[in-house]
Structure 1
Amino acid sequence: MLQDKDIVNDYLNGLNASLKSYAGYISEANNSQLRQTLVSLRNGDESRQRTVYSYALQNGHYKPAQPATPEEIQQVKTELSPGQ
């Protein structure tokens, strides 16, 4: 039998995979109605992902990575700045 943690993590993985796919579908959609529908679906999945993530975090089912240091953040900003 699946445990709560397994179900939550499986659902989160599915939502995360969907969110990654939406970017490609949205950018390639020529039809404005289709594009708006995809944006709405993505927004709903983002909301569900945040809710499930919060649940997993509160119940000890997920442990996030350590926060980036200010130096690491600055390094990424520098690397991603235009003209670098």
Structure 2
Amino acid sequence: MQEKDMVSDVLSTTKSSITNYATAITECANAQLRGTLQQLRNEAEQFQYQLFQIAEQKGYYTPAPTANQQDVQSVKNGLSGGGPNIMK
């Protein structure tokens, strides 16, 4: 297995773990367990970002192009005022 494939696999697995932590956190009633899961998720996010940076430097991963400011503002506006408000 090539290094690029191994890095890709670890990135994919880590992203999946982060998603699973987030799901467990939202369903956890025990405050101590919830805190532990949040800490594990945060550590996984940090690890994922470090590995992402390595993959990007080595040319294994090319991120999407940076969005222009108008597109970013449009998305913000849509998220803050355009969707349903479940807190009503």
TM over 0.5: yes
Judge which range, 7-16 or 21-30, deviates more.
Answer: 21-30
1:73 aligns to what? Answer: 72
Give the Cα separation in 2 of the matches to 1:12 and 1:66.
20
1:36 deviates by 1.1
1:33 deviates by 1.4
TM-score normalised by L of structure 2:
0.87
C-alpha RMSD of matched pairs (Å): 1.0
Runs of at least 5 residues in structure 2 that lack an aligned partner in the other structure: 83-88
Calculate percent identity across the aligned residue pairs: 41
Q: Quick one: higher RCO (CA 8 Å, sep 6+), 1 or 2?
A: 1
Moved over 4 A (4+): none
The residue type equivalent to 2:15 in the other structure is: N
Task: Render the CA deviation track for 1:64-84: whole Å, top value 9, x for unaligned.
Answer: 0011111211110110113x3
Give the Cα separation in 1 of the matches to 2:18 and 2:64.
20
Give the Cα separation in 2 of the matches to 1:23 and 1:52.
20
Q: What SS does the aligned partner of 1:60 have?
A: coil
TM-score normalised by L of structure 1:
0.91
Task: Render the CA deviation track for 1:20-58: whole Å, top value 9, x for unaligned.
Answer: 121111011111111111011111101110110011011
1:39 aligns to what? Answer: 38
